[in-house]
Amino acid sequence: MDYSRTNFALLPEVIDLMAEAVEHIERDLNLLVHDPGHLELLRDVFREVHSIKGNFAMCQSQTLTQFGHAIENVLAAMKEQHFSCTALVAEALLLSLDRLREMAIQLANVHTLAGHQPELIEAGLNRLAEARQPHVDEAAQAVLSLISGHYEKPAPSRPAPVEMRHLFPQDLEADLEFFRSLALALDAKNPYWTDRTNLQINLAMELNRLAGRPVDPTQLAIAIYVHDLGMALLPEAMVQKIGKLDESEIDGIRNHVQQASELLYRMPYWLDAAEMVAQHHEWVNGKGYPFGLKEERLCEGGKLLALVDAYYAMTNPRADREHGRSLLRAVSEINACSGSQFSRRWVEIFNQWAMQKMRQTDAG
């Protein structure tokens, strides 16, 4: 494919605009699932997608424009009342938009869409647009299968669960229990963090196992328990604020990294955990915080914790978002940030886990 005519200077701005539009689209599609007859909502979604497509046309990217047009075709079919917005149709549309943004980011960064097969998903979207109500969910599921197939990796069989205490030496139990109790207390304080610590610890340990345990499990557990303790020192109104934070609020929230890591740096046994906590908001491309470190200066535990923390944030509700993203959408978003925000190696491990989880869900 020839991308020589693409306006790469304009593309980053279009990607930023798309991110804002998708937030609105996600909200409206969730409402449409519960109220399929709300035509004004449907028209709003159509206008947003039409604008996204038009912006990619201004960038002279034929591939991205055609992909956007295929998404638009599905919405046009709904406007013509050929079928309503079921949960699967909404998921197929949102995941297709995620894939469109992922392709745009890759095109902007490396000037190629190698590794993607947009024409296959386009064809699936066009079949969905031609479907009628009795068969629309089947067509939507076919689109989801096409998209999720991009991430399929061979996954080893899942072992029987191991109780956490068996992973650690007996003499460390006191510290583990103490920091775990603090983490659970913080979870209880935040209405959006129900069972957060347990979910994060289980995912982190499973990803570490799949990777061959490059990170010491004891240090990793402490890092997970402690990494957000600094959030407890912030005003509740700031933590739960809906809307854009001002600069002082952003600085306050970013300081939680230093506050938590400094606590562990004062405890000689937990220096590895302290390093993980200090780095869990760094990006592998050097654009994270607090120090802007690039991947070669980041520890494996810090890179793993960054991914685990982001995955939880994506898939659970929060003050400014009523619904968390599905596993498929989280996979899409994390893969879109592979090599920029997240370590490619840990994204590959995460993909193995995600495919395993989806297979278990399908089997169940």
Other CB atoms within 10 Å distance of the CB of residue 336: 20
Three-state secondary structure of the chain: CCCCCCCCCCHHHHHHHHHHHHHHHHHHHHHHHHCCCCHHHHHHHHHHHHHHHHHHHHCCCHHHHHHHHHHHHHHHHHHCCCCCCCHHHHHHHHHHHHHHHHHHHHHHHHCCCCCCCHHHHHHHHHHHHHCCHHHHHHHHHHHHHHHHHHHCCCCCCCCCCCCHHHHCCHHHHHHHHHHHHHHHHHHHHCCCCCCHHHHHHHHHHHHHHHCCCCCCHHHHHHHHHHCCHHHHHCCHHHHCCCCCCCHHHHHHHHHHHHHHHHHHHCCHHHHHHHHHHHHCCCCCECCCCCCCCEHHHCCHHHHHHHHHHHHHHHHCCECCECCCCCHHHHHHHHHHCECCCECHHHHHHHHHHHHHHHHHHHHC
pLDDT score at 348: 96
pLDDT at 314: 87
Domains and CATH numbers, the chain: 11-151 (1.20.120.160), 164-363 (1.10.3210.10)
- What pLDDT was estimated at residue 175? 85
Quote the pLDDT of residue 316.
Answer: 81
Mean pLDDT by 10 residues, the chain (364 residues): 83 90 91 91 95 95 96 96 93 92 82 79 95 92 78 36 42 80 84 80 92 92 90 59 61 76 86 92 92 91 96 74 72 93 96 88 64
Cβ(290)–Cβ(283) below 8 Å? no
Within a 10 A sphere around the Cβ of 255, how many other Cβ atoms? 15
How far, in Å, are 126, 247, 261, 302, 324 from residue 306 at the CA level? 37, 23, 14, 6, 18
The answer to whether 139 and 128 are in contact (CB under 8 A) is yes
d(CA 82, CA 131): 8
Q: In this predicted structure, what is the pLDDT of residue 162?
A: 37
Whole-number pLDDT of residue 231 = 78
pLDDT of residue 155: 36
pLDDT at 89: 95
Taking alpha carbons only, the member of 67, 71, 62, 45 closest to residue 129 is: 71
Sorted by sequence, the CB contacts under 8 Å of residue 329 that are 6+ apart come out as 91, 94, 95, 98, 314
* Structure token pair of residue 50: 């039409």
Residues 6 or more apart in contact with residue 31 via CB below 8 angstroms: 38, 41
- The pTM assigned to this predicted structure is 0.55
